[in-house]
Amino acid sequence: EKGGYATYMEKEIFDQPQAVADTLLGRSNAAGDLQLDDLRISEEQLAAVDRVTIVACGTAAYAGMVAKYAIEHWARIPVEVSLAHEFRYCDPIADEKTLVVSISQSGETMDTLMAVKHAHDLGALTLSICNTHGSTIPRESDAVLYTHAGPEIAVASTKAFLGQITACYILGLYLAQLKGGSYADDAKQVIAELQDVPSKIADVLSDVSRVREVARFMADTRSVLFLGRHVGYPIAMEGALKLKELAYIHAEGFAAGELKHGPIALIEPGQPVFVIVPGPDTPHGLHGKVVSNIQEIRARGARTLVIAEEGDTSVDEFADEVFRIPHTSPMLQPLLTVLPLQVFALELSTAKGLDVDQPRNLAKSVTVE
Ligand code: BG6
């Protein structure tokens, strides 16, 4: 069942081109427009939505953070992301024009389920992004958008995460399409570009030997930091979470802009820091700002492990290691930048002789509050 791989997690990492392709499959028509026939919610109801709140836990919540950037940019609807266990107890504001989107691989996470029920009681529209057909959360929601990542066995989420991000993109682009005009035109371009992403994922995964090597040499590392900006920020958090879960190493993800407001004090000679570099065409000069961050931490002795686009030579001078990803439009980059981080955590856990598929103290679905 592991398809020749040593662990489920490794198999699931390499399943990711398929997971994304299957999540996209059958959701656009010949004209390149999204068609979400299985959504169980009318276009009129969705078109009336004036606020989106995303509720999720763990990795799924990081997919939700990516969704915030995407939905606000494409559909110009305000999006809030709330950890499901915080949502319910913070007196949330929601009404019938609020779309509460839950994201859950298992569809059984109790914290997320309770948030959905609470949203329902407030009169909000509820939409579940879920990987497990017939599970509780989609059953308790008004609408459902299934990720088609296939069964995920390893406790730490990989392919379900990519499926979740893909589904969030589909939702954001659909909301943009419903708005019509230039929103719909822009969405159409992204929908077309998304079709090329599975082969780019396969490209990255076809050569991860250097990430594996670097990870194996770091088995004694006690702390790793991750920096990202814009959609790279949730990916930095996800890279850190993977390392905590799988290798039991202290790890923290930061928004790169926060560096000078605190975390830079942590930098001492030899401190490993992953940096996710936005593509050079990212708006607002974010690429240059992140390259400056690499320079700043390198000057203080950090060991810089950089994830950057192919052909982006601006990072070479300040990087101890560069892991390359193909070019995409800035919003879609998370589907690629997370890959080296997943492989890094997998390999480091393996190098430490740990149980990759069943990390200590964790369960695949947490059905208690
Ligand atoms: C945690 C798992 O307990 O639940 C994480 O360890 C997962 O990997 C999180 O991201 C949420 O699970 P689900 O099934 O709701 O996506």
pLDDT digits (tens, 9 = 90+) for 169-185: 999 999 999 999 999 99
Q: Which amino acid is at 182?
A: S
Q: What's the 152 CA to ligand 1 centre distance in angstroms? A: 11
pLDDT reading at 299 higher than 90: yes
Compute how many other C-beta atoms are within 10 angstroms of the C-beta atom of residue 188: 18
Q: What's the 170 CA to ligand 1 centre distance in angstroms? A: 21
Q: What's the 165 CA to ligand 1 centre distance in angstroms? A: 15
Give the full edge-to-edge strand order of the sheet including 223-228: 250-255, 223-228, 272-276, 303-309, 321-325
Residue from 9, 106, 368 to probe ligand 1 pocket by mutation (most atoms less than 8 Å from CB)? 106
Q: What's the 231 CA to ligand 1 centre distance in angstroms? A: 20
Compute how many other C-beta atoms are within 10 angstroms of the C-beta atom of residue 29: 9
With bands split at pLDDT 50, 70 and 90, how would you rate the model's confidence at 153? very high
Q: Is 364 exposed, middle or buried (0-12, 13-18, 19+ CB in 10 A)?
A: middle
Nearest ligand 1 atom to the CA of 106 is 14
d(CA 102, CA 98): 13
Tell me what percent of the residues of the chain surpass a pLDDT of 90.
Answer: 93
Q: Which pair of tokens denotes residue 198?
A: 């599975």
Spatial CA neighbour of 28 closest among 127, 166, 199, 231 = 166
End-to-end CA distance of the chain: 32
Nearest CA to ligand 1 atom 15: 104
For residue 1, the model assigns a pLDDT of 83
For residue 269, the model assigns a pLDDT of 97
- Under 8 Å CB-to-CB from 180, ≥6 apart: which residues? none
Contact 100/273 with Cβ under 8 angstroms?
no
For residue 37, the model assigns a pLDDT of 80
- Under 8 Å CB-to-CB from 114, ≥6 apart: which residues? 84, 85, 88, 369
Mean pLDDT value of segment 332-353: 98
Contact 169/190 with Cβ under 8 angstroms?
yes
For residue 26, the model assigns a pLDDT of 93
Spatial CA neighbour of 77 closest among 178, 146, 188, 228 = 178
The predicted-structure confidence for 215-241, as pLDDT tens digits, reads as follows 999 999 999 999 999 999 999 999 999
- Considering only 27-41, 93-107, 210-224, 274-288, which range has the smallest mean pLDDT? 27-41
pLDDT reading at 144 higher than 90: yes
Residue from 8, 9, 12, 57 to probe ligand 1 pocket by mutation (most atoms less than 8 Å from CB)? 57
More confident residue, 368 or 149: 149
Q: What's the 61 CA to ligand 1 centre distance in angstroms? A: 9
Spatial CA neighbour of 140 closest among 40, 37, 65 = 40
Contact 21/28 with Cβ under 8 angstroms?
no
Rg (CA), the chain: 20
Nearest CA to ligand 1 atom 8: 156
Spatial CA neighbour of 170 closest among 40, 26, 16, 50 = 26
- Under 8 Å CB-to-CB from 288, ≥6 apart: which residues? 314
Q: Mean pLDDT across the chain, nearest whole number?
A: 96
Spatial CA neighbour of 287 closest among 232, 225, 226, 342 = 232
Residue from 54, 85, 108, 109 to probe ligand 1 pocket by mutation (most atoms less than 8 Å from CB)? 109
Helix/strand/coil for 99: strand
With bands split at pLDDT 50, 70 and 90, how would you rate the model's confidence at 248? very high
Nearest ligand 1 atom to the CA of 157 is 8
For tokens 């000078």, the residue is 260
For residue 368, the model assigns a pLDDT of 83
Active site residue 364: yes
Nearest ligand 1 atom to the CA of 56 is 15
For residue 363, the model assigns a pLDDT of 87
Mean pLDDT value of segment 59-81: 98
Q: How many Å separate Cα 369 from the centre of its chain?
A: 24
For residue 38, the model assigns a pLDDT of 78
Contact 241/342 with Cβ under 8 angstroms?
no
Nearest CA to ligand 1 atom 1: 58
Q: Where are the alpha helices (DSSP H) in 122-275?
A: 136-139, 159-179, 181-194, 197-205, 209-216, 232-247
Q: Which residues lie with the beta carbon below 6 Å from any ligand 1 atom?
A: 57-60, 104-106, 109, 112, 155-157, 362, 365-366
pLDDT reading at 338 higher than 90: yes
Nearest ligand 1 atom to the CA of 109 is 15
Helix/strand/coil for 1: coil
CA angle 330, 332, 335 (to 5 degrees): 130
Nearest ligand 1 atom to the CA of 57 is 11
Spatial CA neighbour of 327 closest among 271, 292, 280 = 280
Which among 117, 244, 289, 364 is annotated as catalytic?
364
With bands split at pLDDT 50, 70 and 90, how would you rate the model's confidence at 367? confident
Q: Which pair of tokens denotes residue 246?
A: 């799988």
Nearest ligand 1 atom to the CA of 156 is 8
The predicted-structure confidence for 8-39, as pLDDT tens digits, reads as follows 999 999 999 999 999 999 999 989 999 988 78
For residue 150, the model assigns a pLDDT of 96
For tokens 């605190």, the residue is 262
Q: What's the 62 CA to ligand 1 centre distance in angstroms? A: 11
Q: What's the 340 CA to ligand 1 centre distance in angstroms? A: 20
